Amino acid sequence: MTSPAKIVAKNANRYARYGLSLPRQTLRALEKRGIYCQPSVSIEHQHLARRYVLRGIESGGAVVDMGHYCAYLDADGNPAPWLQQIDSISGNGRHAIVIAPELVRIEMLRVGHTYELAITRLWLKSEEGHTRPVIATAPLFRGHQGTLAVEPWSAENKPLRGTVAPLFYTAAGEVLDLPERFDMAIRNISGAVACPGCKHAHVAVAPATNKGGEL
């Protein structure tokens, strides 16, 4: 019989690799509202550069009562440069492709005024006897059931998007300190989950140079 400790560890590893573990009811609600967020990453091989890289997709958006979004940063908490932007007619889907050997994924879910936040470091790790690396992960922050009093998804509060972030609490009711180096990214993604019909990247930035996917 699997021990509770191993089950907890397995669940933690799963969310670190694939993102927030959302109940089926929540996934159906997001699908019904046309919100597509892809927090999983893949390993790709650059033949010209002869190296492996991680590929992530900044994606998501919001409607009035829900929002789900994921984006990527570098190890220092700076926005990752995109390889390319993705335009769509409907919105609330894919916005940009990010390529790098190491990424920090920031993912947020909003249901009404309640927020979930996960920040995870992802990098490539070599394994003895294998030429293809594996994805290593490390959770950096997890906020449960945060709250934000204002409603930035409303038209009159649109100027607040990207300037405010929800508060998260410990089980004892104390405010959790958000990681300072991710402060701007947390504010930006808080705006993303309050951006109805989102059609643009909230976090990724234009690359300084872009040659065949090499950053």
Summarize pLDDT for 118-155 with one digit per residue, the tens. Answer: 999 999 998 777 788 999 999 999 999 999 989 999 99
Summarize pLDDT for 63-106 with one digit per residue, the tens. Answer: 999 999 999 999 888 999 999 999 888 899 999 999 999 999 99
State whether the Cα torsion 203-168-155-91 is positive or negative: positive
Residue with the two structure tokens 């993604």: 189
Residue whose C-alpha is closest to residue 118's, from 18, 9, 24: 18
Query: How sure is the predictor about 1, in pLDDT bands with cuts at 50, 70 and 90?
Result: very low
Least confident of 12-26, 56-70, 113-127: 12-26
Backbone angles phi, psi at 96, to 5 degrees: -160, 150
Strands 114-125 and 134-147, how do they pair? antiparallel
C-alpha radius of gyration, the chain, whole number: 17
Provide mean pLDDT across the span 33-48. Answer: 94
What local confidence, expressed as pLDDT, does residue 131 receive? 84
HSE of 133, CA atoms in CB hemisphere, 13 A: 19
What local confidence, expressed as pLDDT, does residue 87 receive? 87
Structural domains of the chain ordered from first start: 4-192 (2.60.40)
Provide mean pLDDT across the span 5-30. Answer: 70
- Pair 131, 89: CB distance under 8 Å: no
Task: With residue 153 as reference, give the H or E element that holds it.
Answer: none
The reported pTM is: 0.87
Length of the chain counted residue by residue:
215
Instruction: List, in sequence order, the alpha helices (H) in 33-182.
Output: none
What local confidence, expressed as pLDDT, does residue 90 receive? 84
Q: Is the pLDDT of residue 18 over 90?
A: no
Summarize pLDDT for 152-173 with one digit per residue, the tens. Answer: 999 999 999 999 999 999 999 9
Query: How sure is the predictor about 15, in pLDDT bands with cuts at 50, 70 and 90?
Result: low
- Pair 178, 184: CB distance under 8 Å: no
What local confidence, expressed as pLDDT, does residue 76 receive? 87
What local confidence, expressed as pLDDT, does residue 7 receive? 36
Summarize pLDDT for 177-215 with one digit per residue, the tens. Answer: 999 999 999 999 999 999 999 999 999 999 876 454 444
Query: How sure is the predictor about 6, in pLDDT bands with cuts at 50, 70 and 90?
Result: very low
* Of 89 and 26, more confident: 26
What local confidence, expressed as pLDDT, does residue 4 receive? 41
